[in-house]
Amino acid sequence: MAEEIRIGVVGCGHQTRDNLLPGLSTIAGVHLVACADVDLAAAERMAGIFGFERTYRDYREMFAGEELDAALVAIPHSLLAEASIVALEAGCHLFVEKPMGINAGEAREVLEAARRAKRRVMVGYCQRFAEGRVRLKELLDRGGIGDISAISAGKGSGRFKGWLMDPKMGGGQLLFLGVHITDQILWTVDSDPQLVFAQVNMDDETGVDDTSAYVIRFANGVLANVTVSMNVGTGFDFLEVLGSQGRVRAEWSSNIVQVVSRAIPEYSTLTTIMPRPPGPAPAPAGNAAMFGAEMKEWVASLAEDRDPAITGEDGVRVLEIIDAVVESSRRGEPVAMS
């Protein structure tokens, strides 16, 4: 790819403006060409902040009228797949916010469009770049807890608002929260999922899923037990991995890690690892560092002409699990993964 990467953006809301673009806009070689949003005023505000040259109300017009190398798509869940396919067919490499689509079928359509266009897809599972989760993965890769036997994980918050409470828009906690923690589990366990057993509670008023509990059984025998909910008075997000030589737990967004290990002497008793202090200004910390690292990985994958750390195939795998969660709850029995 050329030294300058020409990027167009679809969606000018909070996620793009406040989380993704602050990091993306500072990366050398990135040229922010155009942005599009059905709320043209939002696009114009974002252009004023980050220096986009042109704004559009219709992203199709943007892709038809601009010469772009890559596109970032961050819009409501039910709209992600269609916009992603348009971007790929316009010849753009793609960063698409999670969950990539509202089901695995949509995600496969995006992946097939990428294969036809010979373009790469990165899915926005930002928590793989959170400091606490990176440390957890490093400890696992060092053999710090031996062979993994089980995982306990959960993610939740208070009640959602806006389109996240609309099932037609892909609302509900599974597609907003469950996909994140499911991706973390798949990233952690080096094995194929075999079976999913789930129970899902629905919100009577809106029809979106609000609390779910599910178990994933992997081919290597690992069991992952997951709870996600939007009926909690405070946010929670944890991933705890149990193994033959110890256990490790990472919280988000505090990025606090707890570990006890028979394999690593300095962690022979339960140890709390606090997050690193932020560097000198303007070095980012916390969530800003997480999103910044995510954007750096995407741009580096483009510049180096390689697959990104989180691929379209990863996005499909997550949604296959979520589809199985919904189906298992509907049928009242375990669902085998193909």
pTM: 0.96
- What is the share, in percent, of the chain residues with pLDDT greater than 90? 95
176 is in which domain, residue-wise? 128-276+318-336
- 122/132 same-domain check: no
Closest CA relative to residue 177, chosen from 199, 194, 159 = 159
Same domain (yes/no): 22, 144: no
In a domain, residue 283? The reply is no
**What is the tens place of the pLDDT at every residue in 274-328?**
998 876 666 677 789 999 999 999 999 999 999 999 999 999 999 999 999 999 9
What was the pLDDT predicted at 308? Answer: 98
For residues 270 and 262, what is the distance between their CA atoms, to the nearest angstrom?
11
For residue range 48-85, what is the model confidence (pLDDT) as tens digits? Answer: 999 999 999 999 999 999 999 999 999 999 999 999 99
Residue 179 lies in a domain: yes
Between 240 and 2, residue with greater pLDDT: 240
156 inside domain: yes
Confidence at residue 286, expressed as pLDDT on a 0 to 100 scale: 77
pLDDT at 270: 98
Percent of the chain with pLDDT over 70: 98
The mean pLDDT value of the chain amounts to: 96
Kind plus residue range of the DSSP H or E element containing 42: helix 40-50
Q: Are residue 78 and residue 115 in the same domain, yes or no?
A: yes
Shortest CA distance to 73 belongs to which of 55, 87, 54, 58?
87
CATH classification of the domain holding 20: 3.40.50.720
Indicate if 114 and 250 belong to the same structural domain. no
Tell me how many domains the chain contains.
Answer: 2
296 falls within a domain: yes
pLDDT of residue 2: 62
| Residues 178 and 157 occupy one common structural domain | yes
Residue 196's pLDDT is 98
pLDDT digits (tens, 9 = 90+) for 157-182: 999 999 999 999 999 999 999 999 99
Question: CB–CB of 46/12 below 8 Å?
Answer: yes
Query: In this structure, are residues 165 and 171 in contact, taking their beta carbons and an 8 Å threshold?
Result: yes
**pLDDT for the residue numbered 282:** 64
- Say if residue 73 is in the same domain as residue 163: no
* Of 10, 179, 182, 190, the residue nearest 86 (C-alpha): 10
pLDDT at 284: 73
The torsion angle over the Cα atoms of residues 190, 285, 278 and 304, rounded to 10 degrees, is 60
In a domain, 44, yes or no: yes
331 and 190 in a common domain: yes
CATH number at residue 170: 3.30.360.10
Q: Does the pLDDT of residue 102 top 90, yes or no?
A: yes
331 and 188 within one domain: yes
- Residue 146 and residue 227 share a domain: yes
Q: Are residues 232 and 304 in the same domain?
A: no
